[in-house]
Structure 1
């Protein structure tokens, strides 16, 4: 009978947790602002389609296997000696974490023509 309990519990136990403790999605208005920055500010160097330019690509394939904490630190603190600026004055660690999660999933937030998130 114990095998049945293990079998029933196993599928839920196998699902990976993709969220970080303390990280929550920003409210819709803030998501729209972050999406705008991603498109306009990040896109200026990383390419409007985020496939690279002056800066490296920000596609899910390009970010695969890179430590999320390291990517968040790069967003927040920039890369001294390069064109990558620090964004810590403009966003929180949770917001940077959320943005990186979206990019790593291959679902970066986008801005609609009305300025909102679709």
Structure 2
């Protein structure tokens, strides 16, 4: 079973998404160099698929993998937050 990050790590992961991911996907996650990361844009992808993209990146694109900086549990947490819209709303769980 996935171990959710503690509250301090959740705050750090939220900052990472807003700043690092936001630099390509748009500060409001509506897209830019990278695709939008809003729930309706991610509906076709599972949490597992998104976590794999977060960890391994997308070959042939500017999307880097974050495996060296994030655990699998953290990538799953980010994917769940993106699919729910919680990071955009500022209401992470």
* TM-score between both structures, scaled by the size of structure 1: 0.71
Tell me by how many angstroms 1:71 deviates: 1.0
Counterparts of 2:75 and 2:67 in 1: how far apart (Å)?
9
2:80 corresponds to which of 96, 101, 105: 101
1:24·1:98 contact (CA, 8 Å) conserved in 2?
no
1:36 maps to 15
How far apart are the structure 1 equivalents of 2:44 and 2:35? 15
Shift of 1:67: 2.1
| Structure 2, unaligned runs of 5 or more | none
Cα offset, 1:42, TM superposition: 0.1
Segments of structure 1 that go 5 or more residues without pairing to the other structure are 1-21, 111-116
Structure 1 residue runs of 4 or more that deviate by more than 4 Å after TM superposition: none
Partner of 1:79: 58
Please name the residue that 1:51 is paired with.
30
Cα distance in structure 1, aligned partners of 2:84 and 2:14: 15
Q: CA deviation at 1:29?
A: 1.2
The TM-score, its normalising length taken from structure 2, stands at 0.89
Quote the Cα distance in structure 2 between the aligned partners of 1:50 and 1:58: 5
For 1:55 and 1:90, the matched residues in 2 are separated by 20
CA distance in 2, matches of 1:57, 1:26: 24
